[in-house]
């Protein structure tokens, strides 16, 4: 019988075929189901990360629109705590305010918002599993009227242990003491897709494409399915990890799934291949197909 390390904190059942099956997500509080959001047991600040036009056409009652494209762009340009405190506070968010975020179901946009909020120290941020499509399928009420949220004045500070930098990764590659998880496509990983001046992978990186984490309805796969995916890929949930993609969105989905499954030392290399692949001094390999 195969055993998981004792520091991996979730219960596992083993099937007759030797594959792991978990009874529940180790951190189920990271997800909200549409049926539960219809009858919330606590008050949430709900963020809609879809394009503004989609939000205006109909949204979850009480939701506030968040500019995903702006956040995506501006996080790389400006990580000033005061600027982000104003930006987050205008949405009615403080560090202790529970937040639920949803998008159209693509997941990578909403995961990016989740990761940025957690980076700035917002303690309770959850994703609506399946996004807007799940809300519609559950018969959730659709609102069109909006009212500005009550602005807050949070004192945000960065959580450096959630972000990886190029310099840190170069050191970790030398010391071989942290998993590098590449969430891009197989073509990007093998260097066939041209997305930068230099294409390929980081030496020793583990490849698991982010879409493998989701089912056909864009919901996160069941705990036993995620456990098997990570095990088969060689990803150890009890070991420190860095995720990356091209620009931080897909790697945010991977970071979320790792934390959902109990990992507690996960960093997102937000600048990802857009930085790494365009730096002539970073090591790049071309893995076989």
Tell me the mean pLDDT per 10 residues along the chain, length 289: 33 38 83 92 92 97 96 93 97 96 94 98 97 96 92 96 97 93 98 97 98 96 97 97 98 98 97 98 93
Which distant-in-sequence residues (6+ apart) come within 8 Å of 198 by Cβ? Answer: 277, 278, 280, 282, 284
Q: What is the pLDDT of residue 200?
A: 98
Q: What is the pLDDT of residue 23?
A: 64
Nearest by Cα to 245 from 284, 188, 289, 197: 188
Question: Which sign does the torsion angle of CA 41, 46, 49, 51 carry?
Answer: positive
Residues of each domain in the chain carrying CATH 3.40.250.10: 33-158, 163-276
Residue 212 buriedness (CB in 10 A; 0-12 / 13-18 / 19+)? middle
Q: What is the pLDDT of residue 41?
A: 72
Residue 153 buriedness (CB in 10 A; 0-12 / 13-18 / 19+)? exposed
CATH of domain 33-158: 3.40.250.10
Spatial distance between the Cα atoms of 71 and 150, rounded to a whole number of angstroms: 20
- Pairing type for strands 266-268 and 99-102 reads unpaired
HSE, CB side, 13 Å, CA atoms: give it for residue 170.
Answer: 9
Q: What is the pLDDT of residue 155?
A: 95
Specify whether the CB–CB gap between 189 and 178 falls below 8 A: no
Q: What is the pLDDT of residue 288?
A: 85
Q: What is the pLDDT of residue 156?
A: 97
Q: How many residues does the chain have?
A: 289
Give all strands of the β-sheet with 31-32 in edge-to-edge order: 31-32, 125-128, 99-102, 45-48, 64-65
At the topology level, CATH places domain 163-276 in Oxidized Rhodanese; domain 1 (3.40.250)
């Amino acid at each position: 019988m195969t055993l998981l390390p004792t520091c991996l904190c979730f219960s596992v059942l083993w099937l007759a075929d030797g594959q792991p099956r978990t009874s529940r997500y180790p951190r189920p509080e990271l997800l909200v189901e549409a049926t539960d959001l219809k009858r919330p047991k606590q008050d949430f600040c709900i963020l809609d990360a879809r394009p503004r036009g989609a939000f205006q056409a109909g949204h979850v009652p009480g939701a506030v629109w968040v500019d995903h494209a702006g956040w995506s762009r501006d996080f790389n340009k400006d990580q000033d705590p005061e600027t982000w405190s104003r930006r987050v506070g205008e949405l009615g968010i403080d560090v202790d305010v529970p937040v639920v975020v949803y998008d159209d179901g693509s997941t990578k946009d909403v995961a990016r918002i989740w990761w940025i909020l957690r980076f700035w120290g917002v303690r309770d941020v959850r994703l609506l599993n399946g996004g807007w499509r799940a809300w519609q399928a559950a018969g959730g009420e659709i609102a069109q009227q909006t009212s500005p949220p009550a602005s807050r004045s949070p004192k945000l500070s960065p959580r450096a242990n959630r972000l990886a930098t190029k310099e840190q990764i170069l050191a970790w590659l030398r010391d071989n003491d942290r998993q590098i998880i590449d969430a891009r496509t197989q073509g990007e990983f093998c260097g066939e897709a041209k997305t930068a001046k230099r294409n390929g992978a980081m030496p020793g990186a583990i490849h698991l494409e982010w879409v493998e984490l989701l089912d056909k309805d864009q919901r996160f796969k069941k705990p036993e399915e995620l456990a098997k995916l990570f095990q088969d890929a060689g990803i150890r949930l009890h070991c420190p990890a860095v995720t990356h993609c091209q620009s931080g969105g897909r790697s945010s989905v991977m970071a979320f799934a790792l934390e959902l499954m109990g990992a507690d030392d996960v960093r997102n290399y937000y600048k990802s291949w857009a930085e790494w692949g365009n730096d002539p001094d970073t090591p790049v390999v071309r893995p076989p197909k």
